[in-house]
Amino acid sequence: MGVIVESNVWEPNPALCLFFFISCCLSIYYLPNSTRSSAIFDHAPSSSFIRFQRSFLLLYSLSSVMEGLLAVFGEYDLAFHGISRDQMVISLCIGYATALFVGTFLGILSDLIGQRKVSLLFCLLHLFVAIWRRVTGHPSIWLASICLSLASTIFFFNFETWMVVEHDKLEQRQDSVNDMFWLMTFVESASFIGSQVVGNWLIGGHEKTSLLAPSSAVVIMALSALAYVSRGWKEDPKSILLKDYQTKFRTYILSDKRVWLLSWTQATIHFSIAVFWITWAPIIVADGREVLLGLVYPCVLGAKMLGSTAFSWFSSGPLSLRTEECLVYACIIMGFVTSVVAFDYQDVEILLMLFCIFHACVGLVLPSLARLRTM
């Protein structure tokens, strides 16, 4: 008589995703009047302003989908082609080192030559890797890691800089800039979820024949972004000299202790986020548990979207707090959550709850840091 061993694969309750969706809609719908008056989905002070916001968010969402396809299917693609874990770690180290030593100077380059040209570089890097992957099937892991790390660095700072510069040019209020900060976090998370849906649909369960389909999608999106940036983005020529830039950099950056403190805070936040994304899957599947990780991913991003909508409530709404106070409270909660995860393996349901709390705080912290950078 045979013995049948049932495999119990855990998956999150679908009602959780529905909860985040409804909560985000309610949070946006009941935004304070002072915030809604300048939001993207309401009447803007000028037609040029609302046109810029919509076109910017469209381009930003397109770029986020390209970044999301890398985040979702990057390691899976490497494992499919027989890349070992040690080689993956080395490639990550090479990419992060490139972002540190080369990507740091891309911000200076963006200020000197303009955000438009650096955005073109972002699209070209994704286009280069995607075409190479499509033609050869599997490009050099080191070169791909370098190119995509530089693209991620550009994605992190260049779009935000462009948005702030355009708002200053159009002489808009600071409230409009603050709204765009949380909208960028919201759109980025939603685009990451969309990239997962697009990637799964393109692969369709036929890995050998369809694994290159996401690369084809990136090629199309990169070409579309290139066409928009090169033709639809009008930018005034830069007139600042390198010598003047160095003087201003020493005066406003190196000599300001607040900037150093903000930089340290930014570094610690991103370090904790990086540690989370490296360890979250091994933590959940510890002790041999079987979990559908593809369904956990949208839940934590949904929590991040909900946290981003809370930024307006704390910045200019009835729960108004100073940005520094929001950061203090959010960082304390994040530290407590990660300490619970680090010292005690919990049930999957509790781990998912803690991960969602962590990312809700991340969704609140990222726009808060962006607001302090502009200040």
Tens digit of pLDDT for each residue in 122-176? 999 999 988 888 777 666 777 888 888 899 999 988 999 888 888 888 777 777 7
Q: CATH topology for 14-27+49-374?
A: Growth Hormone; Chain: A; (1.20.1250)
State mean pLDDT over 107-112: 85
Where do we find the tokens 């355009």?
166
Per-domain residue ranges for the chain?
14-27+49-374
Give CA 222 to chain center in angstroms: 17
pLDDT of residue 120: 92
pLDDT at 5 over 60: no
pLDDT of residue 43: 44
pLDDT at 324 over 50: yes
* Token pair recorded at residue 237: 């020529």
287 Rama sector, left if φ>0, alpha if ψ -120 to 50, beta otherwise? left
pLDDT of residue 374: 83
Q: How confident is the model at residue 237 (pLDDT cuts 50, 70, 90)?
A: low
Q: How confident is the model at residue 92 (pLDDT cuts 50, 70, 90)?
A: confident
pTM: 0.84
145 phi and psi angles, rounded to 5 deg:
-65, -40
Tens digit of pLDDT for each residue in 356-370? 999 999 999 999 998
State mean pLDDT over 288-311: 86
Percent of the chain whose pLDDT exceeds 70: 85
State mean pLDDT over 73-98: 76
pLDDT of residue 357: 93
Q: Which residue has the higher pLDDT, 286 or 67?
A: 67
